[in-house]
Structure 1
Amino acid sequence: MKKIYTLSAVLAAFALQAQFTVTIQTPADFKDQDAILYTLNGSKDIIVTKEQGKNSAWTFKYPSSYMGMMKVYFPGSNNTVSFISENKNVNIKLDIQNNKVKDVAYLDEANNLMSKQQEGSQKKELILPALAQIKEYYKDNTDFGKALKIEIDRLSGTSSSIDAAQHPFITYYNTNYSKFVSPSQDATKKVDQEEIINFLDKSNDMLETSSLLRPILVSYLNSGGNTNVTASVDKLLDRLKVETPRGQTVLSELIDIFDVYEMDEYKSKYLSLAKNLKCTINDRLASTLKSNANIEMGAAFPNYKFQSPVNTTAKSLYDIKADKKVIVFWSSTCSHCESELPKLLEKYNELKSKNIQVVGFSLDVDKNSYTKKIAAFPWVNDSELRGWNSSYTDMYNIHATPTYFILDANNKIINKPDHVGDVLEYFKVK
């Protein structure tokens, strides 16, 4: 009994040691109360917990070890603050202006260091090429030429050395970003597919939490060429094995990549592979399967409870009764929406006369921009004003705007048009 008690005490002590806190401080005039903490799995944000502010501060307790990207989202003002965790306390102070984040001060060592590194990298990528061009017009023996050379040498230099033992995540991120995502232009240093496969196979769990997985997979696909996509993907999945958590997360990311880039043939092929797996499915792949199942042809389009609907007294999507419904996901900042929605507007009365209702779900963030735009749209409009943080992006597997669905009277999906012209053609009102 004594041994069990001692072991329990050791485990409890370890749990307390692994726990860390995330503290966000704001000025007293910041109006938000709720804040949500997220971790990362591949390219998907995972909700950890929700907290209310006390004395203009939010403190989140994380109960286990975690190294990787995190973010805190304030839904009331649609502010997002991104940062990293190295399994140590995180402390951030926000400068707020008109209830929007104006500046972020990272007070803990890891995030302060990561912030400076990111700032240096951006300057190197954006400023260095311009300085190199300017230098062509100034001799090194002039004062300006000397100053240019000093700045070019400074920006060209390698980043200050980081103690990998003290900052394992920063080291992991910087090393693999420069190797796989932003590689050298020197052809002799470029990585090949085998190197990428080995990395994806052997990397520790920081691969999933680093935000590097998707860009590395895109680099991998590009390295194989457009004519060898299937061979490249099959080779990768064969090595990783889709029965493993890593293999399933990579499969999920690939399905989403094919969706984003409208590579429908490959999306269909590997979505079918995922559906037919007989093993236990991890959460990442399960979410991809569910969001795709929600929008399959013939599937019942999931109901949605309206937040602030306009041009209707209906409480939810299903409350709207019509022979057909055109669902459009759009945004006032989307250039394609700007050109397509006026064409839908031209034919709206004709559609309405056929008992066809249009329902627009906006991925806007700015309330004024959204309100001005919908003033011209007589159909049902609704928005959470959370942009890509909106709940319906995952529910309906939305990767781009505008995205259209046509539903029958029973809310089953009967068509998924690519463009507004396809919508009008379907109803013969073009």
Structure 2
Amino acid sequence: MKKIFLLSAIIASFSLQAQFIVSIQAPVDFKDHDAILYTLNGSKDIIFSKEKIKNNTWTFQYPKNYMGMMKIYFPDSNNTFNFISENKNVNIKLETQANKIKDVIYLDEANERMSNLQEGSQKKELILPALSQIKEYYKDNTEFGKALKTEISRLSGSSEGINPTQHPFIYYYNTNYSKFLSNDASKKVSQDDIINFIDKSNDMLETSSLLRPVLVSYLNTGGNTNVSTSVDKLLDRLKVETPRGQTVLSELIDIFDVYDMQDFKNKYLGMAKNLKCTITDRLASTLKSNANVEIGAVFPNYNFQIPINTNAKTLHDIKADNKIVIFWSSTCSHCESELPQLLAKYNDLKARNIQIVALSLDTDKDSYTKKITAFPWVNDSELKGWNSSYADTYNVHATPTYFILDANNKIINKPEHVGDVLEYFKVK
């Protein structure tokens, strides 16, 4: 009996060990204490865990098999970087300056290999064409001509072979990126090729970051006049009740949202709502963020972080006959042209007890602070860019995005442009 007990204890101890460890080293003067590790599902970052720094290092123990893209996010400074996992230990060292990441040094073999391959691929796509044009102006027997010829030859060569057994994720990513997303992929890949790839790929499709761009490529291959036919053909093959079918449906709904293809979004969002099967977390998240901002829904409350021009603690605390909620950024060119039009009518709106609440997707505090000095309405920002909590809560995919609320915080209109806002209130 004692031997059986000991064996059970040994087995239990092994089950508690991490499948692999992610270790991030930072300089002593790096001020962030917390780091968040994300995995990937399609285009959605999924929080795995949050760790505190110990001896200038964050250590994450990942308990199961995972091959794909990962991300580390530092919420205090809004620093972030990506890396890969091949179900082996990951070791990364950061170089920082003024509490910003200056360089990411990959100390494990897989990430170093992936980084070198991506750098070479970028140079091949972006630099090689320019070098080939420059070469025409230099003779081969000059010192610079010889250097040009050598570099062109190096970049023109194929990437070093990748052993799929040794590096399964790197092989999967690079092979399929070259096939479906490289500059000349559209010339040789058909819709059926893409459908077969999405249907037959293993779980690395969801973790690779390839799914959304491949879907966009698929839609482009079908043409603007055949969008519904293309999507229906794909979903029919995948079976929308399956986990992959639901992930693809969720991605497509978001794609139609991003590209303002409202009729297609409504059609496939309706399909998702009417599913009778068990809904995956991925699709449930898309359904929830869209339900939050439907006409007639109560706009989810938001706790202000550093509000300007108000003493209110939350968005719902602001009392008005109507509210105009704007999601914007100081670096957004459309915001630059649209918000001054709203500013010109601000006094007219305020006189009618219509309040404006602007939530910024900025990351740079100085840029944000400088810009809001001209805006007399309520301003707030988490200064986390697209990592801001409200980007997902309010299903925001672009700036500026507008909502009009009634006195009870119900959504009564979702204008597309500032002109629609002014027209709604008859102040044009």
Indicate the TM-score class for this superposition, using the shorter chain for normalisation. Answer: over 0.9
Q: Which residue of 1 aligns with 2:71?
A: 71
Q: Which residue of 2 aligns with 1:244?
A: 242
Q: Which residue of 2 aligns with 1:359?
A: 357
Give the residue type in structure 1 aligned to 2:121: S
Q: Which residue of 2 aligns with 1:125?
A: 125
Q: Work out whether residues 309 and 382 of structure 1, in 8 Å CA contact, stay in contact via their aligned partners in 2.
A: yes
CA shift digits 1:389-421 (9 cap, x unpaired): 000000000000000000000000000011111
2: distance between equivalents of 1:310 and 1:186?
Answer: 49
2: distance between equivalents of 1:200 and 1:346?
Answer: 50
Shift in CA distance, 4/158, structure 1 to aligned 2, threshold 3 Å: farther
Q: Work out whether residues 334 and 401 of structure 1, in 8 Å CA contact, stay in contact via their aligned partners in 2.
A: yes
Q: Work out whether residues 18 and 65 of structure 1, in 8 Å CA contact, stay in contact via their aligned partners in 2.
A: no
1:146 is displaced (CA, Å) by 2.7
Shift in CA distance, 234/4, structure 1 to aligned 2, threshold 3 Å: farther
Shift in CA distance, 32/365, structure 1 to aligned 2, threshold 3 Å: same
Shift in CA distance, 11/232, structure 1 to aligned 2, threshold 3 Å: farther
1:8 is displaced (CA, Å) by 6.3
1: distance between equivalents of 2:270 and 2:326?
Answer: 26
Shift in CA distance, 172/35, structure 1 to aligned 2, threshold 3 Å: same
Q: Which residue of 1 aligns with 2:335?
A: 337
Q: Which residue of 1 aligns with 2:370?
A: 372
Give the residue type in structure 1 aligned to 2:346: Y
Q: Which residue of 2 aligns with 1:115?
A: 115
Give the residue type in structure 2 aligned to 1:84: I
Task: For residue 216 of structure 1, give the secondary structure of its aligned residue in structure 2.
Answer: helix
1: distance between equivalents of 2:186 and 2:293?
Answer: 44
1:186 is displaced (CA, Å) by 8.8
Q: Which residue of 1 aligns with 2:312?
A: 314
1:139 is displaced (CA, Å) by 3.2
Task: For residue 69 of structure 1, give the secondary structure of its aligned residue in structure 2.
Answer: strand
CA shift digits 1:323-365 (9 cap, x unpaired): 0000000000101111111111111111010000000000000
1:14-413 mapped onto 2 (5 Å cutoff): 15=15, 19-182=19-182, 184=184, 187=187, 190-413=188-411
2: distance between equivalents of 1:35 and 1:402?
Answer: 30
Q: Work out whether residues 40 and 46 of structure 1, in 8 Å CA contact, stay in contact via their aligned partners in 2.
A: yes
CA shift digits 1:236-266 (9 cap, x unpaired): 0000000000000000000000000011110
Shift in CA distance, 154/362, structure 1 to aligned 2, threshold 3 Å: same
Q: Work out whether residues 25 and 57 of structure 1, in 8 Å CA contact, stay in contact via their aligned partners in 2.
A: yes
1: distance between equivalents of 2:4 and 2:337?
Answer: 69
1: distance between equivalents of 2:426 and 2:140?
Answer: 70
2: distance between equivalents of 1:217 and 1:174?
Answer: 17
CA shift digits 1:168-210 (9 cap, x unpaired): 11111000001011153694xx111111111100100000000
Q: Work out whether residues 24 and 58 of structure 1, in 8 Å CA contact, stay in contact via their aligned partners in 2.
A: yes
1: distance between equivalents of 2:185 and 2:228?
Answer: 27
Task: For residue 338 of structure 1, give the secondary structure of its aligned residue in structure 2.
Answer: helix
1:9 is displaced (CA, Å) by 7.2
1:67 is displaced (CA, Å) by 0.6
Shift in CA distance, 128/242, structure 1 to aligned 2, threshold 3 Å: same
2: distance between equivalents of 1:259 and 1:4?
Answer: 58
2: distance between equivalents of 1:311 and 1:278?
Answer: 47
2: distance between equivalents of 1:96 and 1:54?
Answer: 17
CA shift digits 1:94-148 (9 cap, x unpaired): 1110010011111111111111111111111121011110112223344433322
2: distance between equivalents of 1:180 and 1:267?
Answer: 24
Give the residue type in structure 1 aligned to 2:242: T
Q: Which residue of 2 aligns with 1:422?
A: 420
Q: Work out whether residues 66 and 85 of structure 1, in 8 Å CA contact, stay in contact via their aligned partners in 2.
A: yes
Shift in CA distance, 355/4, structure 1 to aligned 2, threshold 3 Å: farther
2: distance between equivalents of 1:68 and 1:172?
Answer: 10
Give the residue type in structure 2 aligned to 1:94: L
1:3 is displaced (CA, Å) by 12
Task: For residue 152 of structure 2, give the secondary structure of its aligned residue in structure 1.
Answer: helix
2: distance between equivalents of 1:339 and 1:4?
Answer: 74
Shift in CA distance, 4/342, structure 1 to aligned 2, threshold 3 Å: farther
Provide structure 1 residue ranges, at least 5 long, that are not aligned to the other structure.
none
Task: For residue 222 of structure 1, give the secondary structure of its aligned residue in structure 2.
Answer: helix
Give the residue type in structure 2 aligned to 1:112: E
2: distance between equivalents of 1:3 and 1:239?
Answer: 53
Q: Work out whether residues 20 and 62 of structure 1, in 8 Å CA contact, stay in contact via their aligned partners in 2.
A: yes
1: distance between equivalents of 2:126 and 2:323?
Answer: 47
Q: Work out whether residues 18 and 87 of structure 1, in 8 Å CA contact, stay in contact via their aligned partners in 2.
A: no
1:14 is displaced (CA, Å) by 6.8
Give the residue type in structure 2 aligned to 1:391: S
TM-score (norm 1): 0.96
Shift in CA distance, 195/101, structure 1 to aligned 2, threshold 3 Å: same
Give the residue type in structure 2 aligned to 1:113: R
CA shift digits 1:21-48 (9 cap, x unpaired): 1111111111111111100000000001
Shift in CA distance, 123/183, structure 1 to aligned 2, threshold 3 Å: closer
Provide structure 2 residue ranges, at least 5 long, that are not aligned to the other structure.
none
